[in-house]
A and B are shown apart, each in its own frame.
Chain A
Amino acid sequence: MEINKISEEKQKNILLKVLEVLKTMASRPSGFIGLCILVFHILLAFLSPYLAPYDYKAIDPTLMLQAPSSEYWFGTDSLGRDVFTRTIMGGRTALTITFFGSLIALLWGGLLGIFCGLVGGKIDDVVMRIVDAFLSIPWILAMLLIVSLLGTSIEVLIPALGFFYGKGIVRVARAATHDVIAKDFIISARARGHSNMSIIWNEIIPNVRDAILVEGAMRWSWMLLGFSSLSFLGFGVSPPTPDWGLMISNARGLMSFAYWAVIAPIVGLSSLIIGINLTADAFAKALGIDRSTKAPV
Chain B
Amino acid sequence: MLFLIIKRILLGLITLFIVSLITFVGTEILPGDACTTYLEREAYGAALEACYKRLGLDIPAYERYLSWAYNVIQGDFGYSLSGQMPINEVLGPRIKNSMVLASAAIIIGIPLALVLGIVTALWRDKLPDITISTITIFAMTIPEFISATLLILIVAIWLQWLPGIVIVPTDVTFFELLPNIILPVISIAMIMTAHMARMVRSSVIQVMATDYVQMAILKGVPYWKMVFKHVLPNALLPAINVVALTIAWLLGGVVVTEVVFNYPGLGRLVIESISNRDLPTVQALAIILASIYVSINLIADLMTLMLNPRLKSLQIRK
A145 CB contacts on chain B under 8 angstroms: 26-27, 30, 274, 282
Verify B19–A133 contact, CB threshold 8 A. Answer: yes
Bound-state CA distance A225–B271 (Å) is: 18
- Given B16, B137, B294, which contacts A277 in the complex, CB threshold below 8 Å? B137
Could you tell me if A296 and B195 are in contact, using CB atoms closer than 8 angstroms? yes
Cβ B271 vs Cβ A144 within 8 A: yes
Contact call A141/B270, Cβ cutoff below 8 A = yes
The stretch of B46-54, B175-183, B196-204, B225-233 in contact with A is B196-204
- Shortest CB–CB separation between residue B231 and chain A, in angstroms? 15
Shortest Cβ gap from A111 to chain B (Å): 21
Structural contact, A273 and B270, CB atoms closer than 8 A: no
Known A-B contacts A130-B18, A138-B252; A148 and B289 likewise in contact (beta carbons under 8 Å)? no
- Interface size of A by CB at 8 A reads 48
Q: Are A221 and B141 in contact (CB under 8 A)?
A: yes
Name the residue among A133, A142, A226, A296 with the largest chain B CB count within 10 angstroms.
A133
- Identify which of A130, A138, A256, A266 contacts B255 (C-beta below 8 A): A138
Q: Are B145 and A229 in contact (CB under 8 A)?
A: yes
Whole-angstrom distance between the Cβ of B18 and the nearest chain A Cβ: 4
- Is there a chain B Cβ closer than 8 Å to A72's Cβ? no
Q: Contact between A149 and B37 (Cβ–Cβ < 8 Å)?
A: yes
Name the one of B31, B206, B252 contacting A140, with C-beta atoms under 8 angstroms.
B252
A167 to chain B, nearest CB (A): 12
Q: Give chain B nearest CB distance to A264 CB in angstroms.
A: 12
**Which of B1-9, B95-103, B243-251, B303-311 contacts the other chain?**
B243-251
Interface contact B143-A228, CB-CB below 8 Å: yes
Q: Mark B6-39, 1 if CB is under 8 A from A, else 0.
A: 0000000011101100110011001110000100
Asked if B18 contacts A295 (CB within 8 A), the reply is: no
- Secondary structure dominating the interface of B: helix
Q: Which residues from chain B contact A229 at a C-beta distance below 8 Å? A: 143-145, 253, 256
| CB-nearest residue of chain A to B267 | A140
Find chain A residues with CB under 8 A from B206 CB. Answer: 293
- Are B30 and A149 in contact, with the CB atoms below 8 A? yes
B285 at the interface (CB under 8 A from A): yes
Q: Mark A96-123, 1 if CB is under 8 A from B, else 0.
A: 0000000000000000000000000000
B197 to A: closest C-beta gap in Å: 11
Verify if A1 is at the interface (C-beta below 8 Å from B): no
Using known A-B contacts A144-B271, A292-B202, determine if residue A136 contacts B15 with beta carbons closer than 8 Å: yes
Nearest-CB residue, chain B, relative to A224: B143
Does chain A have a CB within 8 A of B290?
Answer: yes
Quick check: B153 and A294 within 8 Å, CB to CB? no
Q: Does B277 contact A (CB under 8 A)?
A: yes
Chain A interface (Cβ within 8 Å of chain B)?
A: 129-130, 132-142, 144-146, 148-150, 221, 225-226, 228-229, 232-233, 245, 248-249, 252, 255-256, 259, 262, 266, 269-270, 273-274, 277-278, 290, 292-297
- 30 inter-chain pairs at a CB distance below 8 angstroms, sorted by A residue, are A130-B18, A132-B15, A133-B18, A135-B293, A136-B290, A136-B294, A137-B286, A140-B255, A141-B255, A141-B285, A144-B270, A144-B271, A144-B274, A145-B26, A226-B252, A229-B143, A232-B145, A245-B145, A248-B145, A259-B157, A262-B149, A269-B143, A270-B142, A274-B138, A294-B242, A295-B249, A296-B195, A296-B246, A296-B249, A297-B245
Shortest 3 CB-CB distances between A and B: which pairs?
A295-B245, A133-B18, A292-B202
